[in-house]
Amino acid sequence: MCSVPNIDYTLQAILRVLKPGGRFLFIEHVASPQESLLQQLKNTISPMWKAIDNGCHPDKETWIALGKAGFSSIHYERFDAQLPIVSLHIIGVATK
C-alpha cells in the first residue's frame, strides 16, 4: 500500500471485490511515531524516496486509512523489521 497514489481509493476497491466475510491480509511498512527522529528523517526524504522507489511513501500512517475504510474488523500488530528507514511494520487482517 505504500506505493499506491490514493490509499483510500485502493482500500475501497479492495472492499468492493471482497465477498462478505472476506479477508484482506496485509504486511506494510508504516510511519514511525511523529515525534521520533526516524519519522523526521522519513518526512524529509519522502519526496526523494518516492522518486527512486516506485512511488513508495515511507511516512504513511496506513493504520489510519485502514480504520477509516469501512472494514467490519481490523486486527494488526506492529513489529520492527530491523531494516534501515522502513523498520516499523504492521501485519494483520481486515475483514469485510
Burial of 90 (0-12, 13-18, 19+ CB in 10 A): middle
Q: What is the pLDDT of residue 41?
A: 78
pLDDT of res. 78: 93
How far apart CA 24 and CA 76 sit, in angstroms, is 11
Q: What is the 3-state secondary structure (H, E, C) of 61-91?
A: CHHHHHHHCCCCEEEEEEEECCCCCCCEEEE
- Residue 33 confidence (pLDDT) above 80: no
Over the chain, what is the mean pLDDT?
Answer: 89
Q: What is the pTM of this model?
A: 0.81
| Model confidence at 96: pLDDT above 80 | yes
pLDDT tens digits, 38-68: 777 777 877 887 778 777 777 788 999 999 9
* Helix, strand, coil % in the chain, rounded to nearest 5: 35, 25, 40
